[in-house]
Every structure is written in structure tokens, then in C-alpha cells.
Structure 1
Amino acid sequence: MKAFVPTGDTSNLARLADVPEPVPAPHEAIVAVTAYSVNRGETFLLEKPPSGWRPGKDIVGRVIKEADSGQGPKRGTRVVGHPPAFGWAERVAVPVDNLVALTEGISDARAAALPLAGLTALRLTRVAGHLTRKRILVTGASGGVGHYLTELATQQGAEVNVVTASPERAERLKALGAENAVFDVAEAKGPFDIVYESVGGESLPISLSKLKKGGNLIWFGQASRKAPRIDFFAFWNGPVSGNIRHFDYTDFDGPVSDDLKILVDLVREDQLHPEIGLEADWTETPDVLHQLRNRGIRGNAILTVTAAP
């Protein structure tokens, strides 16, 4: 079958190639992929890919072989899935605990935009306790996680403040519930109960300085690709007894399918709105990767899997 594989060449990160058919474990189903989402983080990993790894964590398709365990979706079921990898392919093995059945009212593109960014945002809303009446700051809010996080936190009663890239993005985030938008983290008017920090570099220590006493900074990304430098003594001038928590969206108990179903239901109920920045045939994946690395796409990039050349 055909799948995209890493090239090791930063000027052209992936190529379509012949690969072996997936061999499922007893708890895995085989899904014929109809669409997948490309995440910017995957473009970073493609620069120095681990041995034997292929990209692909957000997929939509139909089950063509159900799990030998007898659990999970049956053959013919249309599903959204979150495999550990290997999803940019005609077929992929996915643990049944990472699959959720889809209704016909949700398009492939909207469903494929959900797993990684949606799971991250949903789980971020849980790690700092109740959000009702909390003032929160979201840095890097123009990305897929920030988009979902703004909407979910607003629905939970938080006052959401965002740092975003442009007036256009600011208006979109305000339409999703953001109270205030700024274009530089230094302009954000604290103090905040919670900061969700995804930029790193200079953004993190500035964000930290805007915490209220005993507030929480949840560090969930480093989009700038620059490590932050934090001055211990700066805590005396602002975030007294502030907390920094490293966040990993996979560090949660229970099956992925539980949270993925919550996301699917929210979309079906028109309470969560995936933003599709681009839809293209999967043969255009190398060009899409180039655009993503250069921030040329706002919203999710969705690739539709057609007959391979």
C-alpha cells in the first residue's frame, strides 16, 4: 500500500512510498483512511524522524477489519481515530480505545481536525481545577489548540484573554468567546489565575510575571522552538508562590475514546467549531508541510486520501 514516509531532507520532509500492510495487534482495528489532519508539531518531528517512525495521528476512515478481541467498532463503521503514528497512509492499525464512531452529520474534514488539538485543549481545561470565574491567559492562541481552548474555557465560565498573531485572528477568537486579545504577551493585563503557555522563549517568563499570587502556569508547548530562561528572583516581583506545571496530553487515565467522543458530541451539538484552513488531496502533503512550517495556514490542514498514483 501507499503511505507518506520521512525523507530526512528538511527541504522536502515526506514522500509517498510503498510500505507493508499494517499488521494489527488483537486490540487494533484496520481503518481505510479517507482523510487526515497534519499538525505543525509533526513537521518538527519530520526534521529528525525516529527510526521506523511514520507520521499520522489524526485520521478519519472506515473500519475494514475489526479487532480480533471482538471489541471496538465493527466492519464498515465510519470512525475518527487517534493512532500513535502511521496515519498518513491508505490503511492504518488503530487501538480500539482510540476510535469513535461518527454520524453522517459530521464531515471528514471536521472530524479529522479534532483528535490531537481537541484532546489537548479538552484536557488542558481539567488540569488547573474549575475554570468558572477564573481569569486565564492563552498564549499562541492562533493555533489549533488555542482555538479549541478558547471555546471550551469560555463555555466553562472563564474569562479568556488571548495572545494572537493578527487583528483577523483576534476577531475570530473573540467570536468564540475571548474577552480580550493582544498581539504581544507583554500587553496582556494581569494578574491571571491561570496562564496556558505554548510559545516558550521570552513568552514564558513574561507570562509567568502576570500570574496572581499562587496562580498556575500550565506549560504545554514551545512553538518558538526557543527554551525559556527563568529568573528565580523574579518571583518576588509578581507571581509569589506561583506554580509551573509541565503538561503532556497523553498523561491521563482512561481510554482516548472517552474524550474523543466528548469532542465529537460537542461538534455534533454545534458547541465546538473546528477551523479548516485548507483542504487538499493527500498527494499535496509535501507542499502543505512546507506551508505549515512557514505559518502559511491558519486552522487545520486536512488531506483527503484518494487512489494512490
Structure 2
Amino acid sequence: MPVRALVVDPSAPAAVRLAEVPEPVPGPGQVLVDVSHASLNYGDLNDARSGRVPVGAVLGSDAAGVVVRAAADGTGPAVGTEVVALTTGAFAERVAIDVDALAEVPEGLDLARAAALPVAGVAALRSLRAAGLAPGKRVLVTGASGGVGRYAVQLAARAGAHVIASVGSAARGQGLAELGADEVLTGLDGLRAPVDVVVDSVGGPQLVEAWNLLAPGGSVQSVGWTSGEPAVFPPYATVGPAKSLSSFVIEGAAGADLAVLTGMAAEGALTVEIGWQGTWDRFDEAAEALRGRRVPGKAVLAVTSGASR
């Protein structure tokens, strides 16, 4: 029996359309999940146009819903368990998901907010971990008004860092001080003192500026490139005291980190901000808002009629 899904179609306005696909057949270590909510990321929009996800394939990585078939090998959650996952092909009514790619959704966290955690939350958590986050360090988060940025600000602040949030306009900076930012800047104007950690989702000239501000021994984690502009380093910019620029991608199963993030969100220790929410047949509208940087936090799509929990 086919299920509906958002698939890649270069002829569609946002290169994505609703279509029917075969119902997934789970492997021994997979559960079958009825998806109620999915979260849209910049990477999904790029995947739809770049060819990384083939034409006709199901798009998406972030999903939350209810287990309707337990794993045949006896691992993972039972039928009826609410879960959130980071998995390929997430934008479908029903998805087969590896048990180590998901986490149970705790009481106190609704499925819409849970769906907003996987890619952005795991990217923030792991990039800060890779950069050597520690109390007292100066942490610069660029593109801080977006999904990754807002989580990175909160996680760095909770770790005892001095957090500098960089945004594209003053309006985009609203609410970041309340999330833990010690400084909120438009671009990097006024920032002179060196920083120890940079979580960069902007790329382009701002990445070069951030590199120049990095203290010896510091680390830039390149998690995105929303500017779409090239980064041109002047001669000798990379010659000097040791510091690093690291490319970042989420690798390996995300279940354990999702458990940490959902636990924090359920306890109120991590704020999940949804800046756009609607049904998945409004995908084009959500994509346009995200590309136009009109979404503070995350854009969440309701996938099924049971999505009002």
C-alpha cells in the first residue's frame, strides 16, 4: 500500500512535490514509524536542487511520530512509543528507521518541538563538542538566529562559555540574550577580542572574518554556508600560530545525542523555537520563508491528521 511523501522533482517550484511512494519495509534492526511532524533544514533545500538526493527519492532528515511496528530483532522501542529521529527520507507518512537513529520523546515535549531537534540540535551539540567547548571560553556563533545557531547559543551558555551571537540584522537578534548570549552583534561589527570557538553557518566573507578573530589553539567549525558566497582568504591568513578550520557533517547514529537533547527540552533546559509551522502541502511556502531568512528558529511541517498532540 503506497504512502504519501515529499519527493525531489526539479520541475516543481521548490524542486519538491507530494507524491505516493511504496510503503517502506523495515529491516531487522528498524522500527516502522507513522510520522506526524517533520522539520525543514537549509540542507534539505540544497539536497533537492543539488542532485545529492536523486529525482523521485524522499527528502528530509528530521521526523517525529509513533512506532507502529517494533524491530524484528527485539531492539528499540515498543509499538505506541513516541519517537524522534534523524534519518534519510524523513518526509513521508511512514518511515523505516534504525533503532540507533532515534530516541523516545519524553513526557512534557510535544512531537512538533521534538521534530525540530535532530539536524539542528545534533549539529550544534557535536560541533561545540568537536571545538573543545569548556567553561570560560569565548564562543562565537554566526547565523545565530537560525536553528543551529539558537541551539548552539544555549548549549554554549549552559557550559559556562562567554557567548557572542552574530546575526544579519538587529531584528534577527531578538530573544538571543534571553537564550544565553552575552553579546548580540549585527555581523561582526565591534568584535575585536579574540574568540576560542566559532560555530559558523554563514560562510563567505564572514567566515574569513571569523578566522581572523580566532585565538591561537582555537577552532572554527563550518556547519553551513547560508550566504552562498565564496570565502577568499588573503595571503598568509593561514600562516601563524596553530588554529583550525574544520568541515562539519553529522556522521554516525544520532540516537544517543537525541536522547540528551530531548531530555533537556522536556525539562525546560533547552528552548525549542518554531518560527514557521504548517501542513506539508505548504512546503513551498516554508521553503521560501527559510531561504528568505524569515524563520527565527525552525520550520516544522505537520505530516498527518493526527499531528495536533
Per the normalisation by structure 1, the TM-score is 0.92
Q: Deviations over 1:254-291 (max 9, x none)?
A: x4211100001101111000101122112212221222
**Greater mean deviation of Cα atoms: 155-164 or 240-249:** 240-249
- Check the 8 A contact 1:28/1:68 in 2, yes or no: yes
Q: 1:8 is matched with which residue: 5, 10, 16?
A: 10
Q: Which amino acid is 2:16 matched to?
A: A
Supply the distance in 2 between the matched residues of 1:183 and 1:8 (Cα, whole angstroms): 35
Equivalent residue number for residue 54 of structure 1:
58
Q: Which amino acid is 1:247 matched to?
A: F
CA RMSD in angstroms comes to 1.8
Supply the distance in 1 between the matched residues of 2:161 and 2:247 (Cα, whole angstroms): 21
Q: CA distance change for structure 1 residues 57 and 120 in 2, over 3 Å: closer, same or farther?
A: same
What pairs with 1:138-177 in structure 2 (closer than 5 Å)?
Answer: 138-177=141-180
The percent identity for this pair of structures is 37
- Check the 8 A contact 1:150/1:178 in 2, yes or no: yes
Check if 1:278 corresponds to 2:279.
no
Supply the distance in 2 between the matched residues of 1:70 and 1:180 (Cα, whole angstroms): 49
SS in 2 for 1:233: coil
Q: After TM superposition, give the deviation of residue 163 of structure 1 in Å.
A: 0.8
Supply the distance in 1 between the matched residues of 2:281 and 2:125 (Cα, whole angstroms): 31
**Greater mean deviation of Cα atoms: 226-235 or 116-125:** 226-235
SS in 2 for 1:138: strand
Q: Which amino acid is 1:78 matched to?
A: E
SS in 1 for 2:15: strand
Q: Deviations over 1:166-198 (max 9, x none)?
A: 323323111111111111224323211122222
Q: 2:211 is matched with which residue: 194, 208, 211?
A: 208
Q: 1:43 is matched with which residue: 36, 42, 45?
A: 45
Q: Deviations over 1:109-135 (max 9, x none)?
A: 110111110001111221122421011
- Check the 8 A contact 2:13/2:284 in 1, yes or no: no
Equivalent residue number for residue 67 of structure 1:
71
Q: CA distance change for structure 1 residues 307 and 268 in 2, over 3 Å: closer, same or farther?
A: closer
Supply the distance in 2 between the matched residues of 1:241 and 1:232 (Cα, whole angstroms): 16
Q: 2:285 is matched with which residue: 281, 284, 287?
A: 287
Equivalent residue number for residue 27 of structure 2:
25
Q: 2:254 is matched with which residue: 253, 256, 269?
A: 256
Equivalent residue number for residue 81 of structure 1:
85
Q: After TM superposition, give the deviation of residue 307 of structure 1 in Å.
A: 4.8
Supply the distance in 2 between the matched residues of 1:291 and 1:130 (Cα, whole angstroms): 32
Q: Deviations over 1:20-55 (max 9, x none)?
A: 000112111110011111112211111133325321
**Displacement over 6 Å in runs of 4+:** none
Equivalent residue number for residue 178 of structure 1:
181
Equivalent residue number for residue 98 of structure 1:
101
Supply the distance in 1 between the matched residues of 2:256 and 2:45 (Cα, whole angstroms): 28
**Greater mean deviation of Cα atoms: 45-54 or 168-177:** 45-54
Equivalent residue number for residue 199 of structure 2:
196
Q: Which amino acid is 1:40 matched to?
A: Y
- Check the 8 A contact 1:174/1:180 in 2, yes or no: yes
Q: Which amino acid is 2:144 matched to?
A: A
Supply the distance in 2 between the matched residues of 1:214 and 1:10 (Cα, whole angstroms): 47
In structure 1, runs of 5+ residues without a counterpart are none
Supply the distance in 2 between the matched residues of 1:234 and 1:15 (Cα, whole angstroms): 44
- Check the 8 A contact 1:10/1:47 in 2, yes or no: no
Q: 1:133 is matched with which residue: 131, 136, 145?
A: 136
Aligned length: 302
- Check the 8 A contact 1:279/1:301 in 2, yes or no: yes
**Greater mean deviation of Cα atoms: 113-122 or 291-300:** 291-300
- Check the 8 A contact 1:9/1:47 in 2, yes or no: no
Q: CA distance change for structure 1 residues 104 and 269 in 2, over 3 Å: closer, same or farther?
A: closer
Supply the distance in 2 between the matched residues of 1:12 and 1:153 (Cα, whole angstroms): 34
Check if 1:234 corresponds to 2:276.
no
Check if 1:224 corresponds to 2:224.
no
Q: Which amino acid is 1:180 matched to?
A: E
Equivalent residue number for residue 244 of structure 1:
245
Q: After TM superposition, give the deviation of residue 249 of structure 1 in Å.
A: 2.4
**Greater mean deviation of Cα atoms: 145-154 or 202-211:** 202-211
